[in-house]
Structure formats: structure tokens, C-alpha cells
Amino acid sequence: MPFIPHTEQEIAEMLQAIGVDNINALFEEIPSHLLAGELAGIPEGMTEMEISRLMHARASQHPQSICFLGAGAYEHHIPSAVWEITTRGEYYSAYTPYQAEASQGTLQLTYEYQSMMTAMTGMDVSNASLYDGASALAEAVLMAVRGNRKSKSRKILVPTTVHPAYRKTTHTIVRGQHIELCEVAYDATSGVVSLDAIKQRAEAEGGDVTAVVIQQPNFFGNLESVDEITDWAHEHDILVIAVVNPLTLAILQSPGEWGATGADIACGDGQPLGAPLSAGGPYYGFICCKQELVRQMPGRIVGRTVDLDGKTGFVLTLQAREQHIRRSKATSNICTNQGLVVTASTIHMSILGARGLENAASACHANTVSLVAQLSAVKGVDCAFNSPYFHEAVLKLSKPASEVLAALADRNILGGYDLSMSYPELGSAILVCATEMRTEEEIGAYAKALAEVIA
């Protein structure tokens, strides 16, 4: 039975009613040179066996490139158990469930996720997740504006070492609320933002600043002076928003430990914790904060409680912040999120454990040190900055970055991120990354290929 509901007879009747001989007569006014003619390239249908044979043949033609590309999303080892457990029917939902009587398992898992995130960030509270790292920063900015009642300016200092896509997304989300993002330039030698530059920008804005954003490690991979910036900000009643890669917290100081008093809000992208690169998503965003700001927190929060019989149970809590109660004055319109990716992330963290995460983070750093040493030894390649870095670094090239990266891709090497669009002042420069997935042989192969390409 055809899926087109009109029978030949009905079509004939309709054509007759409007007085044309055939359907093509309806398209006569289209000039003949614009008609595509027969679509000869579309084959007849294939059986499942034929199509799977074809797809296997096509897949084997696709080269497995070696990835030295990071810039916000990273290739990490994900134990097979993570997605095997995550995709069980009991967990298979993108939503944060609100029916406590029907969802104790998922609610407990989200509660464990929140506990892990607060432990890693050194913060008091975590929500049940947001969409991605970029929108998490936008929510953090909105939270800071609501939470910092000593500041009237709605001005946020944002160093240009914060991820360019995060800055754009945040601008798009907050500009309608008359919040101004004031950029602070980084130091050309160190590739980090100096406290002096932040102070100067604050003074240029008249002194009243609501919050300062610090990304650690920053977009270039470099380590910012988070302690002195945090202390200065708090002396001036400025809230501190930390943008962090959660994996790095296994070995770096947590935002809660920045300076004497710690950052006020920590946010970022959860992708490095169990989400595959997968052509750009889905990933998830996280946001954590100090207890004082909990009522400014967007999204759902799972709490632990006891039922009438005194048994432990899990429920959504602090719902008075949310849109179904606060309507237009809700902290955010986010109510659902990336629940399934968060489930994977929680299982990933529990399988790796604190030591596994620390090992992965240390291996990332060690591999990147080796990568930078071998690549910068190539003639025509130089380190752009002299700061300590985590698992990414900027290299300046003597040939145009786009040509070099294209030539490397021909050799099945994803050589890095071309910085020329977002940072034209760097000239030809790329951001390179080596996670724990890269071997010494692969790093050596990259150095050899780069030497050939750039010669």
C-alpha cells in the first residue's frame, strides 16, 4: 500500500476539476533550464544485509585520525562499563525526574553526582546540571548579578583568555538583561591575564564591578593567578566566577580553595568526564556555588531527606526558585537538562575514582609536556607563551596555520585548533593538546609530520 493517500483516480479527478491534463502542467511556468531532470543518482532500495556490507566497506575507507585537538572538548578514555550501564532501560531518560515516588534510583544518582561535583570544585552546592559549558557560564553571570546586591553596575569583567565560544554564548544570553561583559586583554608574553590589567579595567568602568570570570586553565591551557585575582575581587565586593575543566581539579587547586575565601561560583563543561567527542555533543554543563548563593542557583537540585517512617529518600528541593512556582521571576527557565550524559559522567567518575581521575589528569599533563617539547624543537615552530600549562599549549608557526593543519589532516593527524579567527593578533598559531590517550609514538609521529609539512 502506498503512503501517498491519493489514488490515481483521485488525482485524475482533481486535475480534471482544475482543468489541466497532467501534474507537470502545474509546473510549466518554471523555465526549463532550471529543472533538474531525472534524479539518476538515487539507487533502488537495498536489503539490510546489503546496506550493512556497504557501510562496513565505507567505514573502513575512513582514516582513524590521531587527535591533538582540544579547545574545550577532549578525547579521553571512557571505560566500556560507563555507557553499558548508562544505556540500561532504568536510566534511559534525558530528564531530571520530579516524581520522587517513581524515581528514587535516578534521583539518588543525581544526588551522588552533585556530591561528587561539590567535592571536586570545593563548593557547597551543585545543581543537577545544565546544557553545556558555555550556557553554564551565562547562568553563572546571571546568578552573580542577582546575588551581588552590593553592586549596581551589572558589569562583568571577562578576560579574553576565557573560551571565545563561551564569551559569545554568554553575551547572547545576558545582553537582553542589560548586563555588560567588559573584556580584559591578556599579557602577550605570558598568555594569562594580569591582576593589573583587571584592576585597570575595573577602574576604567568606574570601580563598581559585579563579578569577574576566571578560566583555569585558560583557553590557551595556561594557569592564571587565581589566588591574587580572587583576593583582590573579594576585597572590592566583586564575585568570582570560576570556569574550570573538571578533570583538571584532580590535580589543580579547586575553585573553593582559590585565594583566602574561594571562588563564589564554579562552572564549566562536563564533557571530559565520560562524554565522547561525538562530533560536538551532547555534552553537559555543571554549576556549583557557595551556600549563600543557593537561592540564585538555576535548574534542579536533588536533596536527601527522610520519609514518614524515617527512611532515607531523595527529592527535588528548593523548587520555589523554579519557573512552575516563581513564574517570570524564576532564577532560570531551565528545568530539564542533559540527564543521560550526567548519568554517564557519574558512573565514569565512580569507576575511575579519585585516583583514576588523578592518573588521567597527570598523564594528560605529562603527554602535553612531551608534545610541546618535541613540536617546539621543529624548525619554524615556537611556543607562544612562557607560562605553566595543563594539557594544552599555543604554538606559533612560520607557515599559515590553516595550510599546516590541512596538510597534517592529509597525514591523518588532527594537529590542533587554528587560533587565527578568534585571536588574529597571534598571527599563525595553533592550540595543541595531548590527553592520556596519546602515546609517545603518536607524539613522535606528529613531530615528524609537522617537520615535513612546515619545511
For another protein, the binding residues (CB under 8 A) are: 149-150, 295, 320-321, 325-326, 329
Looking at the Cβ atoms of 321 and 348, the one nearer to another protein is: 321
Rounded least distance, CB 118 to another protein, Å: 20
Minimum gap (Å) between residue 295 Cβ and another protein: 7
Per the CB < 8 A criterion, the answer to whether 381 and 397 are in contact is yes
Provide the minimum distance between the beta carbon of 239 and another protein in the complex, in angstroms, as a whole number. Answer: 15
Q: Residue 282: is the preceding peptide bond cis (ω within 30°)?
A: yes
d(C-alpha 383, C-alpha 87), whole Å:
43
> Rounded to the nearest whole angstrom, what is the least distance from the CB of residue 106 to another protein in the complex?
23
CB nearer to another protein: give 209 or 384: 209
Q: How far is the CB of 100 from another protein (least distance, A)?
A: 15
Task: Quote the CA–CA distance of 135 and 126 in Å, as a whole number.
Answer: 16
Report the alpha-carbon distance of residue 80 to residue 87 in Å, rounded: 11
| Cβ distance to another protein smaller for residue 58 or 149 | 149
Least Å from the CB of residue 149 to another protein = 5
Return the number of the residue (168 or 295) whose C-beta is nearest another protein.
Answer: 295
Q: Return the amino acid letter for 286.
A: F
Closer to another protein by Cβ: residue 300 or 321? 321
Q: Which is nearer to another protein, 132 or 322 (CB)?
A: 322
Distances (CA, A) of 309 to 104, 108, 305, 312: 16, 18, 11, 9
For residue 211, the SS3 value is strand
Q: In what order do the strands lie in the sheet with 429-433?
A: 381-383, 392-397, 429-433, 417-418
How far is it, in rounded angstroms, from Cα 284 to Cα 292? Answer: 25
| Nearer CB in complex with another protein: 102/320 | 320
CB of 319 to another protein, least distance (A): 9
Share in percent of the chain as helix, strand, coil (round to 5): 45, 15, 40
Instruction: Report d(CA 446, CA 451) in Å as an integer.
Output: 9
Using CA atoms, how far apart are residues 209 and 153, in angstroms rounded to an integer?
A: 6
